[in-house]
Structure 1
Amino acid sequence: MTIENISGCIGCGRCVHACPCDVIRIDKESGKAAIVYPADCQICHLCRMNCPVDAITLSPEKTIPVVVSWG
Protein backbone atom coordinates (compact mmCIF):
# COMPACT_ATOMS: atom_id res chain seq x y z
CA MET A 1 0.00 0.00 0.00
CA THR A 2 1.34 3.41 -0.92
CA ILE A 3 -0.51 5.45 1.66
CA GLU A 4 0.36 3.84 4.95
CA ASN A 5 -1.98 5.44 7.44
CA ILE A 6 -4.85 7.90 7.85
CA SER A 7 -5.00 7.93 11.65
CA GLY A 8 -6.38 11.08 13.18
CA CYS A 9 -8.68 11.78 10.23
CA ILE A 10 -11.40 14.34 11.02
CA GLY A 11 -13.46 13.55 7.92
CA CYS A 12 -13.12 16.95 6.26
CA GLY A 13 -12.76 15.42 2.76
CA ARG A 14 -9.90 17.64 1.60
CA CYS A 15 -7.77 14.61 0.71
CA VAL A 16 -10.64 13.16 -1.35
CA HIS A 17 -11.00 16.37 -3.35
CA ALA A 18 -7.22 16.80 -3.73
CA CYS A 19 -6.54 13.29 -5.08
CA PRO A 20 -6.31 13.36 -8.91
CA CYS A 21 -6.52 9.54 -9.09
CA ASP A 22 -9.66 9.04 -6.95
CA VAL A 23 -7.75 6.78 -4.53
CA ILE A 24 -9.35 8.08 -1.32
CA ARG A 25 -13.04 8.09 -0.43
CA ILE A 26 -15.02 9.02 2.67
CA ASP A 27 -16.27 5.86 4.40
CA LYS A 28 -20.04 6.10 4.91
CA GLU A 29 -19.97 4.26 8.24
CA SER A 30 -17.10 6.06 9.96
CA GLY A 31 -17.31 9.37 8.12
CA LYS A 32 -13.52 9.32 7.73
CA ALA A 33 -11.17 8.91 4.79
CA ALA A 34 -10.43 5.40 3.52
CA ILE A 35 -7.94 4.17 0.96
CA VAL A 36 -10.12 2.48 -1.65
CA TYR A 37 -7.70 2.02 -4.57
CA PRO A 38 -4.15 1.95 -3.13
CA ALA A 39 -2.60 0.51 -6.30
CA ASP A 40 -3.71 3.59 -8.27
CA CYS A 41 -1.85 6.06 -6.01
CA GLN A 42 0.71 8.09 -7.98
CA ILE A 43 2.52 9.37 -4.85
CA CYS A 44 1.79 13.01 -5.69
CA HIS A 45 1.57 14.03 -1.99
CA LEU A 46 -1.53 16.19 -2.66
CA CYS A 47 -3.59 14.32 -0.07
CA ARG A 48 -0.89 14.75 2.55
CA MET A 49 -0.30 18.42 1.73
CA ASN A 50 -4.03 19.25 1.87
CA CYS A 51 -4.73 17.50 5.17
CA PRO A 52 -5.36 20.18 7.83
CA VAL A 53 -4.48 17.84 10.73
CA ASP A 54 -1.49 16.02 9.15
CA ALA A 55 -3.29 12.68 9.42
CA ILE A 56 -1.82 11.04 6.30
CA THR A 57 1.43 9.08 6.41
CA LEU A 58 3.09 7.69 3.29
CA SER A 59 5.05 4.44 3.30
CA PRO A 60 8.79 5.21 3.52
CA GLU A 61 9.70 2.79 0.71
CA LYS A 62 7.25 4.48 -1.64
CA THR A 63 7.86 8.10 -0.67
CA ILE A 64 9.56 10.27 -3.27
CA PRO A 65 10.57 13.91 -2.85
CA VAL A 66 7.94 16.50 -3.67
CA VAL A 67 8.81 18.29 -6.91
CA VAL A 68 7.29 21.72 -7.52
CA SER A 69 7.46 23.25 -10.96
CA TRP A 70 7.61 27.01 -11.10
CA GLY A 71 7.42 27.23 -14.88
Structure 2
Amino acid sequence: MNLIPIISSDLSEVGYNPSTQQLEIVFNSGGVYLYSDVTSDEYQGLMNASSKGRYFHASIIHHPYVRIN
Protein backbone atom coordinates (compact mmCIF):
# COMPACT_ATOMS: atom_id res chain seq x y z
CA MET A 1 0.00 0.00 0.00
CA ASN A 2 1.36 3.43 -0.91
CA LEU A 3 1.49 5.77 2.06
CA ILE A 4 0.91 9.49 1.72
CA PRO A 5 2.53 11.86 4.22
CA ILE A 6 -0.02 14.17 5.86
CA ILE A 7 0.13 17.13 8.17
CA SER A 8 -1.51 16.29 11.48
CA SER A 9 -0.66 16.42 15.16
CA ASP A 10 -1.78 12.75 15.49
CA LEU A 11 -1.23 11.10 12.11
CA SER A 12 1.94 10.90 10.02
CA GLU A 13 1.04 8.87 6.92
CA VAL A 14 -2.08 7.34 5.41
CA GLY A 15 -2.63 4.68 2.76
CA TYR A 16 -5.87 3.27 1.36
CA ASN A 17 -6.76 0.24 -0.74
CA PRO A 18 -10.27 0.70 -2.18
CA SER A 19 -10.59 -2.88 -3.39
CA THR A 20 -10.11 -4.29 0.13
CA GLN A 21 -11.42 -1.20 1.98
CA GLN A 22 -8.34 -1.21 4.19
CA LEU A 23 -6.86 1.97 5.61
CA GLU A 24 -3.31 2.00 6.93
CA ILE A 25 -2.39 4.76 9.36
CA VAL A 26 1.04 5.61 10.73
CA PHE A 27 0.73 7.65 13.90
CA ASN A 28 3.24 10.28 14.97
CA SER A 29 3.79 8.16 18.08
CA GLY A 30 5.19 5.40 15.85
CA GLY A 31 2.32 2.91 15.83
CA VAL A 32 1.08 1.52 12.51
CA TYR A 33 -2.49 0.23 12.28
CA LEU A 34 -4.58 -1.36 9.55
CA TYR A 35 -8.31 -0.54 9.70
CA SER A 36 -10.87 -2.69 7.87
CA ASP A 37 -14.24 -1.91 6.26
CA VAL A 38 -13.36 1.74 5.62
CA THR A 39 -15.41 3.09 2.72
CA SER A 40 -13.99 5.32 0.00
CA ASP A 41 -16.22 8.12 1.31
CA GLU A 42 -14.71 7.77 4.78
CA TYR A 43 -11.20 7.82 3.33
CA GLN A 44 -11.99 10.93 1.28
CA GLY A 45 -13.52 12.51 4.37
CA LEU A 46 -10.29 11.88 6.27
CA MET A 47 -8.13 13.30 3.50
CA ASN A 48 -10.34 16.39 3.12
CA ALA A 49 -10.79 17.07 6.84
CA SER A 50 -9.27 20.24 8.22
CA SER A 51 -8.40 18.23 11.35
CA LYS A 52 -7.44 14.72 10.34
CA GLY A 53 -6.99 13.61 13.94
CA ARG A 54 -10.46 14.82 14.89
CA TYR A 55 -12.00 13.09 11.85
CA PHE A 56 -10.13 9.89 12.66
CA HIS A 57 -11.46 9.85 16.23
CA ALA A 58 -15.01 10.63 15.09
CA SER A 59 -15.29 8.35 12.04
CA ILE A 60 -12.49 5.78 11.71
CA ILE A 61 -11.51 4.61 15.19
CA HIS A 62 -14.61 2.39 15.56
CA HIS A 63 -13.60 0.17 12.60
CA PRO A 64 -11.97 -3.23 13.22
CA TYR A 65 -8.18 -2.91 13.26
CA VAL A 66 -4.91 -4.69 13.83
CA ARG A 67 -1.62 -3.18 14.89
CA ILE A 68 1.01 -4.05 12.30
CA ASN A 69 3.95 -2.26 13.91
- The two structures have a TM-score, normalised by structure 2, of 0.30
- The two structures have a TM-score, normalised by structure 1, of 0.30
Question: Which of these two proteins has the greater Rg computed from alpha carbons?
Answer: 1
Richer in strand (by share): 2
